[in-house]
Every structure is written in structure tokens, then in C-alpha cells.
Amino acid sequence: MNIEELINKRKGHLDIDQVPKDSWEEIRNGWKKPQKENELSWWKVAAVIFIISSAALLGHNLLLRQEIQTLATLGDISSKYEKVEQDYLKTINDIESNINIREVRSDENLKWLFEELDILDQVNEMYRKDIGNVDEQLIVGTLIDHYEKKIRLLKKLELEIKRNQKFKENEKDIIDSVNM
């Protein structure tokens, strides 16, 4: 029923000085379309599907992040590589123990060496995540290459530190000799 029909139907009631209280309520009720209370809108279904899929994706990502936290080692590939890796790690730890890395890391002259070491470690981490997904021989060669490069960089760092110390000692000797 449209508004004109409703007005024509109620015209006799409206031609009076006082409008009955329930007239406007009846008009309003005549405009409203009845709605089904049990009708499920498509957007409600889409919202539920979105929430469930988002929760599942979040859970999956959290599980993957936990798996990545434990990086694989050469020993995970084969037990024969475990000893090789331990030897490399021992050499690296020996060199690092001779260097006070926290103290020399702030030295501007050595900054480039630490940047190289950081990049090398980032690449190493990426390769370790690929263990099991890529050809083992390729990964083994790459990880061994990483250890050798890291040892060379640490030895270079050690030499640079010694060179800087000698330079400072010589500089001090020269200043002392001039002051005498």
C-alpha cells in the first residue's frame, strides 16, 4: 500500500479538527514492510567466513614462525658433517674470544667488517631455513663456505685491531719523543 492510498483511505478521519492519537501510528505501520526475523544475510555469512579464515591463517603463521626459530645445522643433514661444523664453530669461537667485539664494534674504522659479518649471518640464516627443501650438497657447500668466509673476516678483524693498536702505540711513541 502506498502513501496516497493510505491517505485516501483515512481521509474521513483526517478531516476533523483533532487528529486521533492512533492515526499516525497506523500510517507508520502501513509504511513498514514486514521483515523475516530468521533471514540470514549474505554479509553475515561472509563475516563469519572471513573471521574463521583469518584465525586459521594467523594460527598457521604462528606455527611456521616457531618452526623457523630452530635453525637447522649441518649435523641435521648428515652426522658426518656434524664434526666439520663443530670444528668451524670452535675456530670461530676461539677468534671471537680473542677479540672484545662489544668494544671494537663501535670503532668507525672497523664498521665495514661488522657490516660484512652481519650480512654473512643473515644469508646463512636464510640458507639454514632451506635445509630439507634444497639439494643437500648445495646447502652443505654453501654453509661450509659461510664458515670459511666468517673465519676470514674475523681474522681480518683481528689483524685490523692489532694494526690499530700498533698504530696508536707508534703514534704515542712519536708524541713522547717530540715532547722530550
Q: What share of the chain is helix, strand, coil (3-state, %, to 5)?
A: 80, 0, 20
Q: Tens digit of pLDDT per residue, the chain (180 long)?
A: 677 887 777 776 656 666 666 766 777 776 666 555 556 677 788 889 999 999 999 888 777 666 544 556 777 777 788 888 888 889 988 888 888 777 777 778 788 888 888 888 888 887 777 666 667 777 778 888 888 988 898 898 888 888 888 888 888 878 877 776
How far is Cα 29 from Cα 20, in angstroms, rounded to an integer? 15
How far is Cα 13 from Cα 55, in angstroms, rounded to an integer? 60
How far is Cα 121 from Cα 119, in angstroms, rounded to an integer? 5
Q: Note the pLDDT of residue 157.
A: 87
Whether this model's pTM surpasses 0.75:
no
Q: Where are the domains of the chain?
A: 74-179
Strand partners, 134: 131
